[in-house]
Every structure is written in C-alpha cells, then in structure tokens.
Amino acid sequence: MKKLIYLAMIFLVPAIVFAAAFIVYKVPLGSLSADDYYNQGNTLYARGMYEEASAAYEKALAIKPDFENALKNAAYVYNKIGEYRAAAEKFSNLITIQPENPSYHYDYAVNMVLNIKQNNAGTIEEVEKAIAEFKRSDAIQAGYQKVKENLAFLEDMKAQYYSKVAGTA
C-alpha cells in the first residue's frame, strides 16, 4: 500500500502541478520549458502512453540536450517499446554526462546486445563495444548486476564470429 501511495505521489503530483500551471498561468502551448516537457513525459509514461512519452522527452532534450533525467527516462521508454538502438544512444549520451555511473555503461551494453538480438544481426565492433561497456561497469563497481554472465555470452558470440571468419579465410 505504501508503494502505491509513493508511486501515486511521484506521478500524480507532477501531473497536477503541470495542469495547474496551464490553468493558473494560461501558459501558451508553444512556450513550455524542458522541465514542463519532462513532467509531461512522466505523466504520459505513467498512463502507459509510451510513444507520446518519448516524444515529450525528446522535446525536453531539444530544449536542454544534457537534461540527465530526461535522457534517462527517454532511454527507459525506448527500451520498453523495443527501440534498443535509440535507448543505447541515450545511454551513450548519459555516459558522457556521468562517466562513472556503472548503470549507464551496463544499460548501454544491454541495449546494444538487445538490438543485435532483435535484428539478428550486428557487427563485431558492436559486440566488442558491448563487452568493453560491461567491463567498464564492472570496473566502476565490482560485481555490478549480471556483468559476468553477459560477458560470457558476448565472449562466446565474439569467438563464434572469429571462428567463422577464420573458417572462411
């Protein structure tokens, strides 16, 4: 019950504040701030309107490209709707903002791998980049999430690639 109340506070309060700003201040639709679009994205996400939420986050980022929370939420929504390349791109941007955050490296690598698996194709450079990002997250915080399992999977994928290349040469 406490979790439900907490979630309601997180999502409903920004929505109420956002709506009140329109009513009280009669803010013209064209003059929203990055924070306004971010809050709108959060409200849309809470309603399960993921495509619309991603559009709102993108509008926030168009105004403020280094808006960390908007980047993070955009990455999560892209992951949720299966747009793994877009999610990976957002995590790549987050890495430039917070290079010592193991979660950003980890999530970047995960979305790269999901994109490869989804499309049943990928370059060896993408696999090697994902390996490097998993290793980076583990270097920042030893034992981070399931890095070792993911690394084993990717190292196997890399070995298969190189054995195929060697077999065709």
- Predicted pLDDT at 72: 98
Domain final residue, candidates 25, 48, 81: 81
Q: What is the CATH number of the domain that holds 162?
A: 1.25.40
Q: Please check whether residues 68 and 88 belong to one and the same domain.
A: no
**What residue numbers bound the domain in which 139 lies?**
84-169
Q: Please tell me which residue, 145 or 23, carries the higher pLDDT value.
A: 145
Q: Please check whether residues 100 and 164 belong to one and the same domain.
A: yes
- Predicted pLDDT at 26: 47
Using pLDDT thresholds of 50, 70 and 90, give the confidence band for residue 138. Answer: very high
- Predicted pLDDT at 166: 72
Domain final residue, candidates 28, 58, 81: 81
- Predicted pLDDT at 24: 43
Distance separating alpha carbons of residues 66 and 36, to the nearest angstrom? 15
Q: Please check whether residues 7 and 73 belong to one and the same domain.
A: yes
Domain final residue, candidates 34, 61, 81: 81
Tens digit of each residue's pLDDT (9 = 90 or more) over 25-65: 444 555 899 999 999 999 999 999 999 999 999 999 999 99
Q: Please check whether residues 47 and 93 belong to one and the same domain.
A: no
Q: CA angle, corner 110, sides to 104 and 113, nearest 5?
A: 140
- Residue environment code for 33-72, b if the CB has 16+ CB neighbours within 10 A, otherwise e: ebbbbbbbbbbbbbeeebebbbbbbbbbbeeeeebeebbb
Q: Please check whether residues 106 and 36 belong to one and the same domain.
A: no
Q: Please check whether residues 95 and 38 belong to one and the same domain.
A: no
Tens digit of each residue's pLDDT (9 = 90 or more) over 80-130: 999 999 999 999 999 999 999 999 999 999 999 999 888 887 788 998 999
Domain count, the chain: 2
Q: Considering the entire predicted model, what is its pTM?
A: 0.75
